[in-house]
Amino acid sequence: MTKTNIASKNQIIGSETKHIILIGAGNVATHISRHLYAQGHKIECVWSRTPGPARALAGVVGAKATSTVSEVPQKADFYILAIPDGAVAGMATEFADCQGIWLHTSGALSMDVFKGLFPEYGVLYPLQTLSRAHPLPLGHIPFLVEGSSVEVSEKVHDLASSISERVEAADSPTRLIIHLAAVFANNFSNHMVHIAHQILKEQNLSVAMLDPLLEETFQKITRVGAREAQTGPAFRDDHETMKRHIELLKNHPEWEKLYTFISREIEKSREE
């Protein structure tokens, strides 16, 4: 197995080996299955509509790879659907004869998407942005879990605890709120950096000059909190600078709207 910054295999502490089926072979499936495998769990099968990713992941975790629903084992401890939210309900119906605890990995999707399909189900949601090409240790990443019964909840909690020290119970409404916060913190901030890069590229300026600023920005947020870390012209009420910035954005009206709206929000935050 390639070096992936995960613990060595067979390191389960206080938890027995579980037999697991992965439905999906993308970013989340790759990270979760690698770490479950490293902790001694048995990944029986990786299913994906696209054979290549299924074979690649299965080769890493010692599993069978398939793109055929009928070839997926019909009994396992856990079936983990790590696929886009919109595909979970439809995909689950294709595996209706499979017996085990069914889990999805979404932050926004209700656990009840499985209700009526399987007697035991739940959620295993890693609160992290994941890319299969960039292995991450999961030990300190929050996992939000939920189960259809007290017994199922305990089993899901135990599974998550075998790969992370930060496992918390969160029902679907709570998890949705946390997911909303994560979108602001991760997805929106990433898009802002994308806009910043576009501004520089239009003037043939290097985007790399922002790297130290970005690194310190997020380190500072974790050190002192976002409110205390806030700086910039809007926070210090520097309207002259803001006017000059807005003038530079005249060819990008949508960016100008963003700049103006977010600046107003920052100004309001001074009064909080």
> Which of 150, 170, 190 delimits the end of a domain?
170
pLDDT band (50, 70, 90) for residue 132? confident
Residue 186 per-residue DSSP state: I
Mean pLDDT for 155-172 is 96
Task: Write down the pLDDT at residue 131.
Answer: 87
Task: Give the other-Cβ count within 10 Å of 113's Cβ.
Answer: 19
Task: Using only the alpha carbons of the chain, give its radius of gyration.
Answer: 22
- Do 131 and 219 lie in one domain? The reply is no
Question: Residue 231 sits in which domain range?
Answer: 177-269
Are 48 and 67 in contact, with CB atoms under 8 Å apart? yes
Residue 30 has pLDDT above 60, yes or no: yes
- Do 118 and 66 lie in one domain? The reply is yes
pLDDT band (50, 70, 90) for residue 14? very low
- Do 80 and 165 lie in one domain? The reply is yes
Mean pLDDT for 84-89 is 96
Residue 9 has pLDDT above 70, yes or no: no
Structure pTM? 0.88
Task: Write down the pLDDT at residue 133.
Answer: 84
CATH number, domain with residue 66: 3.40.50.720
> Which of 133, 152, 170 delimits the end of a domain?
170
Measured in whole angstroms, the distance separating CA 8 from the mean position of its chain's CA atoms is 23
Task: Write down the pLDDT at residue 137.
Answer: 86
Average of per-residue pLDDT values in the chain: 93
Task: Write down the pLDDT at residue 3.
Answer: 34
Task: Write down the pLDDT at residue 57.
Answer: 96
Mean pLDDT for 164-171 is 96
Taking the C-alpha atoms of residue 35 and residue 110, their distance in angstroms, rounded to an integer, is 25
**169 bridge partner residues:** 145
Q: State phi, psi for 136 to the nearest 5 degrees.
A: -125, 145
Percent of the chain with pLDDT over 90: 89
Per-residue pLDDT tens over the stretch 188-199: 999 999 999 999
Taking the C-alpha atoms of residue 199 and residue 249, their distance in angstroms, rounded to an integer, is 9
Mean pLDDT for 213-227 is 95
Measured in whole angstroms, the distance separating CA 104 from the mean position of its chain's CA atoms is 12
**78 bridge partner residues:** 20, 101
Q: At what angle do helices 253-269 and 239-248 cross, to 10 degrees?
A: 160
Residue 79 in domain: yes
Percent of the chain with pLDDT over 70: 94
Residue 134 has pLDDT above 70, yes or no: yes
Residue 11 in domain: no
Domains contained in the chain, number: 2
CA atoms within 13 A on the CB side of 120: 17
Residue 141 has pLDDT above 60, yes or no: yes
Residue 8 in domain: no
Task: Write down the pLDDT at residue 15.
Answer: 59
Are 156 and 144 in contact, with CB atoms under 8 Å apart? no
Q: Which of 5-14, 149-158, 263-272 has the lowest mean pLDDT?
A: 5-14
